[in-house]
Structure formats: C-alpha cells, structure tokens
Amino acid sequence: DVKVTQSSRYLVKRTGEKVFLECVQDMDHENMFWYRQDPGLGLRLIYFSYDVKMKEKGDIPEGYSVSREKKERFSLILESASTNQTSMYLCASTFDRASNQPQHFGDGTRLSIL
C-alpha cells in the first residue's frame, strides 16, 4: 500500500511565523499535491509538483510556497503565517499524470495560527 506521511497531525503557530509542513511518500510517485480543506469548500489545490525541483501554482497559492528537493518529499511553506491560514492541510501523491490514477492522501495536518 502507498503510504503518504505528513510530519505533524496538529500544529499551533503564531501570526508572522514561517511555517513548514512536510510530506513524504514511499512509492516513488512522480506527482505530489498540497490542498487545504475548509468546511463547505471541499479541498482546494494550493501547489503541485510533477517532478523534482518542479512546482506549479494551484488555485490558491497566495501566501504559500513549496519545495521539492527530493522525489519523495514535498514541503509546503507559509512564508508569514496569518490567521486566515488556519485550516486542515492535506498532501497527496499519484504515480503519474494519467487521469484515471487516484490520488493517495496523508492523514492531514490541522494547523492553527494564533
């Protein structure tokens, strides 16, 4: 089974801090994604990556950046955390770009910005 591991289940940070959320997958997947999940809004794509050192903006990239230095690891960075970034963050991966490949998700990081 594919395992997608997010480094923290719960995280509390202060406004203005730089926050790192880490995600690691163990199945040599090419594609990795970061979403945020908010009630009633479903999941919204923040950033994604199709390869090492490659990144693309999703639907809501403002206030975020990403890093993919190794194939198995995809990091989400909040450059200067704000209270409106309090949310559940979900990482996902897929083997390749074929549209019928399901995405495999981690358990999520619930981030609170105070």
Partner 1 sequence: GDSVTQMEGPVTLSEEAFLTINCTYTATGYPSLFWYVQYPGEGLQLLLKATKADDKGSNKGFEATYRKETTSFHLEKGSVQVSDSAVYFCALSDNAGNMLTFGGGTRLMVKP
**Other residues' Cβ atoms within 10 Å of the Cβ of residue 114:** 10
To the nearest whole angstrom, how small is the minimum distance from the Cβ of residue 16 to partner 1?
29
Residue 42, C-beta contacts closer than 8 angstroms, at least 6 positions apart = none
Taking CB under 8 A as the rule, does residue 69 contact partner 1?
no
User: Per rule CB under 8 A, is residue 51 in the interface with partner 1?
Assistant: no
* 60 contributes a contact to partner 1 by CB under 8 A: no
Nearest to 10 by CA among 109, 114, 113: 109
Which of 68, 87, 108, 113 is in the footprint of partner 1 by CB under 8 A?
108
Per rule CB under 8 A, is residue 84 in the interface with partner 1? no
* Calpha distance 47→58 (Å, rounded): 5
State the residues that interact with partner 1 by CB under 8 A. Answer: 4, 31, 33, 40-45, 48, 50, 90, 92, 94, 96-108
